[in-house]
């Protein structure tokens, strides 16, 4: 690869890994996806080790995570025993999927929490006036949370019904070369 282009990509890699780390993707997953996103060809594990200067074990583990997230996929290259991977080229799809699954996860966690709290809350048996007030205040605040959570859930459902996809627009025009490679 052109040396200056590689340097330019490195600038990207450095920054994107930092950004993604705050979205629950670690450095390596972010950088792996980035080089696949930029690459015209699917890459093998060894290609990726070489490009990012990291061990094969790391690439192996992290690339499978990305596969589970559905943002890269294994492609077969005729005439090679290696596994090759290609990145999803429709970046808006990747991001929307990720946001959706994060939202869904948060919703479940909060559902579980509220359920657990409500299971306990009734067995609280206040002994005096002050304790009664404490219990009442606690319930009031948990109810406020439940209320807010319900509204947030409605909002998420609205987005999931395609609103976000329509706005951010999906359907990449970027074409892969993998078909060419497959018959190489």
Partner DNA sequence: TTTAGCATTTAGAACGTTCTAAACGTTATG
Partner DNA sequence: CATAACGTTTAGAACGTTCTAAATGCTAAA
Q: Which option in DNA, a copy of itself, none does residue 5 bind, with CB closer than 5 to 8 A by kind? A: a copy of itself
Q: What is the distance between the alpha carbons of residues 19 and 21, in angstroms, rounded to a whole number?
A: 6
Residues that bind a copy of itself (CB under 8 A): 1-2, 4-5, 7-9, 11-12, 15-16, 18-19, 22, 24, 37-38, 40, 89, 91-92, 95, 106, 109-110, 112-113, 116-117, 120-121, 123-127, 131, 133-135, 137-138, 140-142, 144-145, 148, 151-152, 155, 167-169, 172, 174
Question: What is the chain's length?
Answer: 184
User: Hey, which residues between 131 and 150 contact DNA (CB under 7 A)?
Assistant: none
- Tell me which residue has tokens 């596969």: 67
Distance of alpha carbon 42 from the chain centroid: 21
83 binds DNA (CB under 7 A): yes
Q: Which residues of 60-73 are buried (b: 16+ CB within 10 A; e: fewer)?
A: eebbeebeebebbe
Q: Which option in a copy of itself, DNA, none does residue 19 bind, with CB closer than 5 to 8 A by kind? A: a copy of itself
**Roughly how many angstroms between the first and final C-alpha of the chain, as a whole number?**
20
45 binds DNA (CB under 7 A): yes
178 binds DNA (CB under 7 A): no
The edge-to-edge listing of strands for the beta sheet with 84-87 is 43-44, 84-87, 72-75
Residues whose CB is less than 8 angstroms from the CB of residue 44 and which lie 6 or more positions away in sequence, other chains included = 80, 82, 83, 84, 85
76 binds DNA (CB under 7 A): no
- What is the smallest separation between the CB atom of 86 and DNA, expressed in angstroms? 14
- What is the smallest separation between the CB atom of 56 and a copy of itself, expressed in angstroms? 25
* Angle (deg, nearest 10), helices 45-52 and 27-38: 110
105 binds DNA (CB under 7 A): no
- What is the smallest separation between the CB atom of 87 and DNA, expressed in angstroms? 16
């Amino acid at each position: 690869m052109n040396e200056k282009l590689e340097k330019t990509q490195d600038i990207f890699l450095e920054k994107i890994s930092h950004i993604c780390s705050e979205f629950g993707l670690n450095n390596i997953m972010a950088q792996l996806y980035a080089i696949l996103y930029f690459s015209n060809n699917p890459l093998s594990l060894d290609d990726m080790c070489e490009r990012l200067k990291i061990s094969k074990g790391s690439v192996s583990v992290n690339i499978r995570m990305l596969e589970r997230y559905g943002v890269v996929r294994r492609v077969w290259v005729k005439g090679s025993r290696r596994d090759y991977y290609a990145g999803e080229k429709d970046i808006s799809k990747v991001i929307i999927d990720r946001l959706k699954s994060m939202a869904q996860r948060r919703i479940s966690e909060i559902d579980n929490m509220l359920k657990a709290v409500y299971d306990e809350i009734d067995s609280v048996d206040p002994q005096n006036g002050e304790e009664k007030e404490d219990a009442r205040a606690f319930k009031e605040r948990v109810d406020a949370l439940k209320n807010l959570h319900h509204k947030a859930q409605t909002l998420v459902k609205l987005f999931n019904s395609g609103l976000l996809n329509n706005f951010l627009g999906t359907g990449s025009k970027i074409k892969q070369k993998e078909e060419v490679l497959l018959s190489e």
